[in-house]
């Protein structure tokens, strides 16, 4: 069985080169999106493509912004590219595995391929049902203009100044939500049950086909997901639970935050503050990585610790 690895990359060509090189295997075809904010030249991209014949690079480049619909768009573009390749090669992929350019495999390629073959067609996705008072509900409560928040954050690094500048935006969003209605209200009116979880998943061909059809035809769902917060952590979960494969998904407790997927992100560590963003692994965490049952981990930064990649390949794979 062949699998499509979908990589969202936004920095550090040296690290991306190492990631793609580490995934050279007959079972994997790789598809990559280079973020438009990445100051990488066309010549560098062409050289990368020449060096990696197992990888296809998307021609169209988007600006991926955390907590916005842009990350869903990028994932869907990668899926579309992989589906087109299926047609060209007259094959069918088992899993479509979404990852970032700062992920790294912590198991051997043979192990990963065999694990996916055995797991198929179970959706490998972190999935938590929405309730009236959990984190998923809060992402749909009001219309959000996250891009405007990010622009305000660039005006000043001072948190107080940022909060003051955002006051009119808060007021505008509240009034607009009262007038138009929240994404939650509109999605519930369509009898859609909401789910959320990690943005990194491995979905079988059946589910990817279903999501692609919904993305193209269910314009009302797309419309209201565009106005919600953090759609990259809710859209694919909700679509998967609408699909015929829903019964195969292992659901989390509504009040439990866990990474029930095959990519581990390092969010908490003793002595470090929880920021909502994953820490970068270093050689100090190699024992932790060795014990993980996951296939991949994130995130890694070659500028912070390059030696960690050699140690993973020596001890974990």
CATH number of the domain residue 288 falls in:
3.90.550
* Residue at 137 is within a domain: no
Residue 186 forms part of a structural domain: no
The strands making up 104-105's β-sheet, listed across from edge to edge, are: 104-105, 296-298, 263-265
Pair 170, 32 in one domain: no
272, 165: one domain:
no
Task: Write down the mean pLDDT value for the chain.
Answer: 92
Phi-psi sector, 62: left (phi>0), alpha (psi -120 to 50), beta:
beta
191 is a domain residue: no
**Of 34-48, 62-76, 272-286, which gets the smallest average pLDDT?**
272-286
Q: Domain for residue 135, yes or no?
A: no
Residue 241 belongs to a domain: yes
Distances (CA, A) of 94 to 76, 80, 119, 235, 249: 17, 15, 10, 21, 16
Q: Considering the domain boundaries, does residue 22 fall inside one?
A: yes
Q: Is residue 78 part of a domain?
A: yes
Task: Check if the beta carbon of residue 297 is closer than 8 Å to that of residue 107.
Answer: no
Q: Which residue has the higher pLDDT, 150 or 38?
A: 38
Same-domain status, 91 and 209: yes
Residues 111 and 237 in one domain: yes
Q: Within this chain, do residues 109 and 209 fall inside the same structural domain, yes or no?
A: yes
Same domain membership, residue 174 and residue 70: no
More confident residue, 72 or 260: 72
298 and 224 in a single domain? The answer is yes
Last residue of a domain, one of 154, 181, 208: 181
Q: Looking at the structure, do residues 161 and 264 belong to the same domain, yes or no?
A: no
Domain count for the chain:
2
Bridging pattern class, strands 55-57 and 28-34: parallel
Is residue 180 pLDDT above 80, yes or no?
yes
- Sign of the Cα torsion 168, 170, 171, 173 reads positive
Token pair, residue 153, equals: 């954050």
34 and 40 in contact (C-beta within 8 Å)? yes
One domain, residues 146 and 221: no
Q: What is the pLDDT of residues 195-241, one digit of tens each?
A: 999 999 999 999 999 999 999 999 999 999 999 999 999 999 999 99
Q: State whether 96 and 233 are in the same domain.
A: yes
Q: pLDDT tens for residues 109-139?
A: 999 999 999 999 999 999 999 999 999 999 9
Q: pLDDT tens digits for 10-53?
A: 999 999 999 999 999 999 999 999 999 999 999 999 999 999 98
Single pTM value for the model:
0.93
CB 236 within 8 A of CB 272: no
Residue 190 located in a structural domain? no
**For residue 269, is pLDDT > 80?**
no
**Are residues 248 and 148 part of one domain?**
no
pLDDT at 257: 75
Domain residues for the domain of 271 are 2-130+198-315
Give the per-residue pLDDT at 256: 80
High-pLDDT (> 70) share of the chain, %: 97
- Residues with Cβ within 8 Å of 174's Cβ and at least 6 positions away in sequence, in order, are 142
Q: Where are the alpha helices (DSSP H) in 141-226?
A: 146-155, 159-180, 183-189, 205-217, 219-226
State the sign of the Cα–Cα–Cα–Cα dihedral 88, 26, 205, 5: negative
> Over 80: is that where the pLDDT of 267 sits?
no
pLDDT digits (tens, 9 = 90+) for 236-249: 999 999 999 999 99
* 151 & 294 share domain: no
CB atoms within 10 A of CB 9: 23
Question: Which residue matches tokens 């993305």?
Answer: 215
Render the burial of 132-142: b for 16+ CB within 10 Å, e for the rest.
eebbbeebbeb
Which band of pLDDT confidence, cut at 50, 70 and 90, is reported for residue 273? low
Which residues on adjacent β-strands are paired with residue 99? Answer: 7
């Amino acid at each position: 069985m062949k699998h499509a690895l979908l990589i969202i990359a936004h920095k550090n060509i040296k690290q991306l080169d190492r990631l793609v090189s580490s995934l050279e295997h007959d079972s994997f075809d790789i598809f990559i999106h280079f973020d438009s904010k990445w100051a990488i030249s066309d010549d560098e991209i062409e050289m990368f493509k020449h060096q990696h014949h197992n990888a296809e690079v998307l021609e169209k480049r988007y600006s991926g912004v955390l907590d916005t619909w842009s990350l869903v768009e990028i994932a869907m573009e990668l899926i579309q590219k992989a589906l087109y390749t299926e047609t060209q090669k007259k094959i069918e992929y088992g899993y479509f595995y979404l990852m970032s350019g700062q992920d790294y495999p912590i198991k051997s390629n043979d192990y990963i391929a065999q694990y996916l073959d055995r797991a198929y067609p179970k959706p490998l996705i972190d999935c938590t049902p929405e309730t009236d008072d959990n984190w998923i509900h809060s992402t749909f409560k009001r219309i959000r203009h996250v891009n405007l928040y990010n622009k305000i954050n660039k005006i000043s690094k001072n948190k107080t100044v940022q909060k003051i500048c955002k006051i009119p935006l808060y007021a505008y969003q509240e009034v607009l939500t009262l007038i138009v209605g929240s994404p939650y209200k509109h999605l519930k009116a369509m009898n859609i049950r909401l789910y959320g979880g990690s943005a990194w998943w491995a979905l079988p061909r059946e589910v990817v086909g279903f999501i692609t059809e919904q993305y193209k035809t269910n314009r009302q769902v797309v419309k209201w997901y565009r106005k919600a917060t953090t759609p990259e952590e809710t859209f694919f979960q909700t679509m998967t639970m609408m699909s015929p494969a829903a019964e195969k998904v292992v659901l989390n407790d509504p009040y439990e935050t866990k990474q029930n997927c095959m990519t581990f992100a390092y969010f908490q560590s003793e002595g470090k503050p929880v920021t909502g963003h994953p820490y970068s692994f270093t050689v100090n965490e190699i024992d932790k990585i060795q014990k993980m049952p996951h296939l991949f981990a994130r995130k890694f930064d070659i500028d912070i610790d390059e030696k960690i990649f050699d140690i993973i390949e020596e001890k974990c794979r």
